[in-house]
């Protein structure tokens, strides 16, 4: 299981899993995308992103927020993430997607939140996120 949705009274809460931090971040982005739209997104647009933050939680917040801003300001929706790399609280990745107006949107996400955010590292990595919609 790459991610799962959990009960939350008002917002959307999910956990994303991975064998390492990079894979868990990718799965968190896919969970966020599937809250917005469950369609299979075509791979037409490629973007290179770089995000710097003060710690891992801020990096996770900023990473997920990037997709919300790209959706709102550039009409971009995610299909796939490639070559995601995290080093010293800097994330670099290639994100591939399409114009969101070609798809059916289920809900609008306002922002990720720090409420109940967790990053748990062990044999695998678990990220827990609540997003405001």
- Sequence spans of domains, the chain: 3-8+17-132
Task: Say what angle helices 56-74 and 21-36 make with each other, to 10 degrees.
Answer: 30
Q: What is the pLDDT of residues 54-77, one digit of tens each?
A: 999 999 999 999 999 999 999 999
How far, in Å, CA of 113 to CA of 70, rounded? 17
Residue 113 has pLDDT above 80, yes or no: yes
Query: What's the Cα-to-Cα distance from 92 to each of 22, 51, 59, 64, 122, rounded to whole Å?
Result: 10, 7, 11, 13, 23
**In this structure, what token pair is assigned to residue 66?**
């990037």
State the pLDDT confidence band at 9, using cuts at 50, 70 and 90.
Answer: confident
Confidence of residue 88 (pLDDT cuts 50, 70, 90): very high
Q: Please give the mean pLDDT across all residues of the chain.
A: 96
Q: Which CATH fold would you assign to the domain 3-8+17-132?
A: Archease, Possible Chaperone; Chain: A; domain 1 (3.55.10)
Write down the pLDDT at residue 19. 97
pLDDT at position 60 is 98
End-to-end CA distance of the chain: 24
Query: Average pLDDT in the 11-24 region?
Result: 96
Confidence of residue 10 (pLDDT cuts 50, 70, 90): confident
């Amino acid at each position: 299981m790459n991610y799962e949705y959990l009960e939350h009274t008002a917002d959307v809460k999910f956990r994303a899993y991975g064998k390492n931090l990079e894979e868990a971040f990718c799965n968190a982005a896919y969970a966020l995308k599937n809250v917005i739209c469950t369609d299979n997104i075509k791979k037409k647009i490629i973007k290179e992103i770089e995000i710097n933050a003060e710690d891992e939680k801020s990096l996770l917040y900023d990473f997920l927020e990037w997709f919300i801003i790209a959706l709102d300001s550039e009409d971009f929706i995610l299909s796939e993430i490639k070559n995601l790399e995290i080093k010293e609280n800097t994330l670099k990745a290639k994100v591939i997607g399409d114009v969101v107006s070609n798809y059916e949107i289920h809900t609008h996400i306002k922002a990720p939140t720090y409420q109940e955010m967790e990053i748990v590292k062990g044999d695998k990595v678990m990220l827990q996120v609540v997003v405001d919609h």
